[in-house]
């Protein structure tokens, strides 16, 4: 009986949730999103332009590098000088940015250039900072590997020195053999030259 009542309650709960979802879909203001169904794609107000961040970053870096060269400064100086000379000394009918208006168009162009140049330079600087950060991390990892290799080689050299110290040298072997011979002579296992001479003497 307990199992049946539990199953009945679960079925009633499922029916209630289904009826709630149906009511919300039909007359409610919001719909309950289900995980087993794909979401509908909503059209944006403005069309999305596919922009490659990497390509845009590379172009901004090229522009920033070009602005920091002497070539850009020379051509910019020539452009401004020609602009000012034309709109100052040319006939009034040929002037497109007269001096009487304080060169409004030139001021607008330079302001527009500065407003675009500053974010592009900042973007190029941020990309350079990211590259520097990655380079520092790689250098740190390389230094750690070099330090580990150096410590390993140091331990190997120390173990080789200890092994060389424990290795029997020629002088050590000779001293050991000499002490062994003396011990055998003292115990009588070996005959000395004095014993040979004594045996060679004739007995009276």
Residue 168 has pLDDT above 70, yes or no: no
Residue 144 confidence class, pLDDT cut points 50, 70, 90: very high
What's the token pair of residue 134?
A: 């990655």
Q: Which pLDDT tens digit goes with each residue over 147-158?
A: 999 999 888 888
Does residue 24 register a pLDDT over 50?
no
- Quote the pLDDT of residue 200: 59
Comparing CA positions, the residue from 91, 118, 77, 85 lying closest to residue 103 is: 85
Most confident of 99-103, 163-167, 198-202: 99-103
Predicted TM-score (pTM) of the model is 0.45
Residue 1 confidence (pLDDT) above 60: no
């Amino acid at each position: 009986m307990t199992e049946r009542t539990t199953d009945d309650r679960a079925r009633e709960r499922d029916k209630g949730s289904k009826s709630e979802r149906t009511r919300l879909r039909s007359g409610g203001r919001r719909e309950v999103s289900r995980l087993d169904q794909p979401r509908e794609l909503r059209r944006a107000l403005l069309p999305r332009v596919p922009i490659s961040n990497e390509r845009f970053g590379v172009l901004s870096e090229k522009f920033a590098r070009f602005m920091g060269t002497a070539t850009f400064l020379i051509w910019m100086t020539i452009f401004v000088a020609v602009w000012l000379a034309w709109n100052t000394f040319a006939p009034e009918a040929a002037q497109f940015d007269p001096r009487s208006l304080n060169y409004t168009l030139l001021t607008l162009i330079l302001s527009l250039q500065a407003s675009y140049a500053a974010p592009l330079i900042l973007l190029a600087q941020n990309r350079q900072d990211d590259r520097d950060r990655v380079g520092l991390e790689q250098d740190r990892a390389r230094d750690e590997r070099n330090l580990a290799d150096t410590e390993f080689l140091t331990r190997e050299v120390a173990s080789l020195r200890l092994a060389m110290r424990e290795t029997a040298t020629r002088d050590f072997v000779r001293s050991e053999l000499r002490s062994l011979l003396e011990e055998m002579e003292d115990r009588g296992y070996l005959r000395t030259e004095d014993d040979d001479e004594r045996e060679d003497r004739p007995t009276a």
